[in-house]
Structure 1
């Protein structure tokens, strides 16, 4: 029974942190992703050019000899890069490589920032653009790390447009099925019901218990409020006073 209790308490902790574990930024279009917890959206449309030229042109890399061009949302052409969102350009060979097209973009939230991932038309190369929020940025900036791994390219876009803003779109969380926390809560209550039913049956038919003695692990549940109280006092004394005081025994 103690193992079951531990499992139930673990499920409660997992449910408590559901928002952090499950949050994602779901693609709405090539410019926008919407957070599935209704906390807003990221909209790059203000810095995505539509005239066939990149917003960022031939930015040098900090790790290789190539230059990189990038345009959120829309496509551009540069030498042999045709209809791309990101291009790797060699100023020595005068050749460009498709490292991402706008239609093949996905958005991922790593707990701190949204990362826009672009795949090339043939699916071989991938660019990862970290969207760094800076509400005070007067103009967006692009830092290019370059090709850290073969066919994988890394950049950081710093801009006010990378900051979450309120979303006018319908709630994604209400139409996307059960969240991770909902599933965990269902599992928790099912396990709780099984635990109580199995414990009562065991105490009644195997131990011949009656009344409150039918409650499984009665001693544990009777002492639990006191344990919680003592634990709370201990934590508060550490946080609020910077020291722990104990009552004399």
Structure 2
């Protein structure tokens, strides 16, 4: 029996450790392709928070004049199937031909984690043609907390290319994955109620077992202190009856008034025959 208990305890310990390590193993499988410019523990933790976004493409359409663009984003993966690209820009030309431009690579990643957001940056994209001193493109993705949705739609916030340097593309995405865990705090009243319910439950269970196994009671008499609670119930009912009822319990004799109708006169008895003649 002791060996069986030890085996069960060891199995439970292994299960608990596996449950705790599974998110970390899953995080490493998804985000291992992202090469951070500054490899720190805080950045790896921030990447682990957005694991539900992995292994899928997010797209957003953007129109400037007659030009239509589609942006595709993937977390630590090949966006749109382009090797090494974290974000790509797909331009649909008038001839219906598509030209793909790499905006950022996931081998040049920066991550900042806040309380309810994660800021992601992909750099080393293709160079601008005539803007921003022909520097390399880069993209920022702001992932905000939204508890109402699992993963939202990618949105294009801004394409800033009017500068001479440090131009960027800014995207927005909402997800419940970056939301902080909700704290459930119990008030004093809730704690008192929980303690009260626990005491009542212990009283009923222990009392029931004692009455049934020790005393040998049957039926409703198994209820702990049955006679006491019956008497309390009767006294409570009497008190409620005394306080709440508006009439006396003992009825007084009803008062009968004198009738105004004339009473029927009884026939006069003649006793003349008893006089001496």
Please give the range of the TM-score, normalised by the shorter of the 2 chains.
0.3 to 0.5
Which structure shows the bigger proportion of residues in helix conformation? Answer: 2
Q: Which has the larger radius of gyration?
A: 2
Q: Which has the higher contact order (CA 8 A, sep 6+)?
A: 1
